[in-house]
Amino acid sequence: MKPINDGHVAESGLAVVEVAGADDETSFAVQELLATRWAIAPADRTVREPGEPGVRLRCYLDLKQQPEA
């Protein structure tokens, strides 16, 4: 995964969440749970790191905004 840059967390209320799960289904389920509570920029794919178990995804949260209906 690419490094987190200053713009991703430039102000209070912005957050980067990295999810590590056993598989794509689990990771995307966690992302969906986050999306019911906060506005997010969702990940559209997971990443598998060679030599590491499971998959990872990264999504970006804006705690100040409500999720889209």
Domains of the chain by residue range? 12-62
Beta strands in the chain (DSSP E): 14-21, 39-41, 55-62
Element of type H or E holding 24: helix 24-35
Q: Which two tokens stand for residue 57?
A: 């995804």
Per-residue pLDDT, 10: 65
Give the global pTM.
Answer: 0.79
**Secondary structure (DSSP) of 25-41:** HHHHHHHHHHHTTSEEE
pLDDT tens track, the chain, 69 positions: 666 666 656 678 889 899 999 999 999 999 999 999 999 999 999 999 999 999 999 999 988 887 775
CA distance 66 to 39: 5
